[in-house]
Structure 1
Amino acid sequence: MPSPSESPVEQVVTPRVLRAWPLPDPAGGKESRGTVLVVGGSRYTPGAVLLAGVAALRAGAGRLQLAVVQSTAAALSIAVPEAKVVGLPETDAGSVSGDVPQHVLEMAGKADVVTIGPGLDDIDETTRLMEALLGAVRPGTPVVLDAYALGALSAHPELLAGRDVRAVLTPNTTEAGHLLGRDPGDDLAAAAAELAGRHGAVVTLYGHIATPDGRAWREESGDVGLGTSGSGDVRAGIVAGLLGRGADPAQAACWGAYVHAGCGRRLAPRHGHLGYLARELVDEVAATIAMV
């Protein structure tokens, strides 16, 4: 395993690599493709949960559940009729409260994948939320941590320590800096590897994927247009959906990075390298997977 300062040897993620590592293709009904629960969405950012949730469905998840603040739950249930949507307590400022209702903890305990973070906006409340949810999931459950969940983890690394979960962290470079406690610099492969070893999780960072046991990959086709509002929520949702259909965390991260980049490639001829929207990325997910 590389030392924290050593850049790992990365395998480039290509269609040939992915075709040799095919995604599970579960037979049967929606139950065979897993239930994905996405928890997040403050009063002002419910769209992040929508993007992540619909991306999970497009990636192949069988069932979708969304948990957002009570004030936006009804609107979100109309916007995403395919999902079960439940309301969460909220603070006066409109953030998700860390006082997680019992029925939501029960949902987390039954879900096949739990994604925490899209649209959250309060570190202290997110910390309490994560403590409750991570304590409720079944042993071995895949958990995707994104956005403010990563901020909470940077302040409280013990949130994951000793947990029997299969975690995937999806930081951008700013969030990686918070997790590392320093600027990640130009060697993002080394940064991803260090975070993977530190948290015992698969890390996907700006096209660099690393596992705790020292394996590493690099996705090279991502375009500058992916740096748009909501794009990270889509990436987290893709990973969650692939986990739901049975991919292991490293496979979901590698396929997720390639598919996320591929969605941008499909949109560029219509919109240019800048200007396409995160919600348009979502609509390209299924076709991009099918074309690998």
Structure 2
Amino acid sequence: MPNRSDERVVTPGLLRDWPLPSPGGDKTSRGTVLVVGGARCTPGAVLLAGVAAMRAGAGRLQLVVAEESAVPLSISVPEAKVVGLAPEGIPSDQVLEMAAGADVIALGPGLDDIDRALELMGSVLGAAGEDTAVVLDAYALGALSKDAGLLRQSRAVLTPNLVEAGHLLGREPGDDLAAAARELADRHDAVVSLYGHVAAPGGGAWREESGDSGLGTSGSGDVRAGIVAGLLARGAEPAQAACWGAFAHAVSGQRLAPRYGRIGYLARELLDEVAFTIASV
């Protein structure tokens, strides 16, 4: 298993040598991101992930949330197409058509019921193409821990926190997060981004060291997942999107620290820093 010495440190120099695909002028050339999540009490998680995807450069945005949140969210994010889920959480034909047409699906932000997450993930990823890029976060990772076969797409990034990593591993991740990330990457054949440690299946490990304690705040993980989704939509490969996403997330927090201190800034305030952080590499 790898240790810290096996990881390449993510620096601006490394990222400049690993440039993102040049953005096209048309919105369709920068991909469609579909964010699926947002239970009745937590539609804001989908808002954060969706706006982060746009700030990272995605061309089109579609959001799927609980039915009662759809209209308010469409007003809050006028750039997005917003569709509601039925009360029982079963996706409509419209949602499945959106999944089939999306370039990237970010699934999990704001979900709060594991059984509903299992059903929703099975339906949405079942409708998506095998080449569709996928970002799994929050309760979607809990669903994956119960049924690894739900993920059939090969271009996938998992963004667990420590609790979610524990569910996926079936044990506490321990102090060696590099080893935990690699184990999960190989187990699920997906790139894993775990607290600054990025691992690709079969080899490749990186470490982002710019993150600070202020990122440990409600909604911050939703922003990180959205950044990764937006970078995938632009054409980045999963490991590249995970490394650039970890850097953009962490350095956006650094940029807020002079105004708010090391802690105290909000996840939604990260959003306005993302595009400049990526552009300034």
Both proteins in one fold, TM over 0.5 = yes
Structure 2 residue aligned with 1:186: 175
Q: TM-score, normalised by structure 1?
A: 0.94
Stretch deviating more after TM superposition (6-15 or 103-112): 6-15
Structural mapping, 1:108-119, within 5 Å: 108-119=99-110
CA distance in 2, matches of 1:87, 1:131: 18
- Deviation (angstroms), 1:201: 0.3
Partner SS for 1:51: helix
Partner SS for 2:34: strand
CA distance in 2, matches of 1:209, 1:291: 22
Alignment check: 8 A CA contact 1:71 1:87 kept: yes
Q: 1:156 and 2:153 equivalent?
A: no
Alignment check: 8 A CA contact 1:7 1:193 kept: no
Structural mapping, 1:1-292, within 5 Å: 2=1, 6-7=2-3, 9-91=6-88, 97=89, 99-160=90-151, 163-292=152-281
- 2:55 is matched by which residue type in structure 1? R
- Deviation (angstroms), 1:134: 1.0
Alignment check: 8 A CA contact 1:170 1:203 kept: yes
Partner SS for 2:155: strand
CA distance in 1, matches of 2:104, 2:138: 17
CA distance in 2, matches of 1:207, 1:57: 22
- Deviation (angstroms), 1:210: 0.2
- Deviation (angstroms), 1:200: 0.3
CA distance in 1, matches of 2:144, 2:30: 29
CA distance in 2, matches of 1:123, 1:244: 27
CA distance in 2, matches of 1:109, 1:159: 16
CA distance in 2, matches of 1:214, 1:154: 22
- Deviation (angstroms), 1:100: 1.3
Alignment check: 8 A CA contact 1:70 1:86 kept: yes
- Deviation (angstroms), 1:164: 3.5
- Deviation (angstroms), 1:158: 2.2
Structure 2 residue aligned with 1:94: none
CA distance in 2, matches of 1:259, 1:146: 18
CA distance in 2, matches of 1:227, 1:166: 27
Q: TM-score, normalised by structure 2?
A: 0.98
Alignment check: 8 A CA contact 2:154 2:189 kept: no
- Percent identity reads 71
CA distance in 2, matches of 1:239, 1:38: 12
- 1:7 is matched by which residue type in structure 2? N
Alignment check: 8 A CA contact 1:36 1:64 kept: yes
Q: Is there any run of 5+ residues in structure 2 with no aligned partner, and where?
A: none
CA distance in 2, matches of 1:232, 1:291: 22
- Deviation (angstroms), 1:109: 0.4
- Deviation (angstroms), 1:291: 1.1
Partner SS for 2:180: helix
CA distance in 2, matches of 1:66, 1:230: 16
- Deviation (angstroms), 1:166: 1.1
Q: Is there any run of 5+ residues in structure 1 with no aligned partner, and where?
A: 92-96
CA distance in 2, matches of 1:7, 1:135: 36
CA distance in 2, matches of 1:62, 1:188: 33
